[in-house]
Amino acid sequence: DIQMTQSPSSLSASVGDRVTITCRASQGIRNDLGWYQQKPGRAPKRLIFAASNLQSGVPSRFIGSGSGTEFTLTISSLQPEDFATYYCLQHNTYPFTFGQGTKLEIK
């Protein structure tokens, strides 16, 4: 199975900060990666598909990049509603696999 390693596992930041979350795949997955946001008690929400494409309705401050084995999700200017847990998901090879999550907390 492809292992997806997210870093950091948790992150404290302030409103207005620029933050970056990284996801590394144990083998190349082209650009077959999505980023998801989950708030407590809620279903996940897809933010980015195909590594760098913004899901409809998602603010442009969410930026995805990368290809192959290394991917990043950048939030250019944190807003209060962005404090949540973020997951990457590879959909290149079965079984598809999620990263372990990055919890973004208010500093």
Return the residue of 34, 37, 71, 73 that touches another protein, per CB under 8 A. Answer: 34
Question: How far is 29 from 33, CA to CA, in rounded Å?
Answer: 8
Closest distance between another protein and the C-beta of residue 15, in Å?
26
Return the residue of 15, 27, 46, 59 that touches another protein, per CB under 8 A. Answer: 46
DSSP 12: E
Under the criterion CB under 8 A, does residue 97 sit at the interface with another protein? yes
Question: How far is 70 from 13, CA to CA, in rounded Å?
Answer: 23
CA atoms within 13 A on the CB side of 7: 4
Q: Which residues bind another protein (CB under 8 A)?
A: 1, 34, 36, 38, 42-46, 49, 55, 87, 89, 94-101
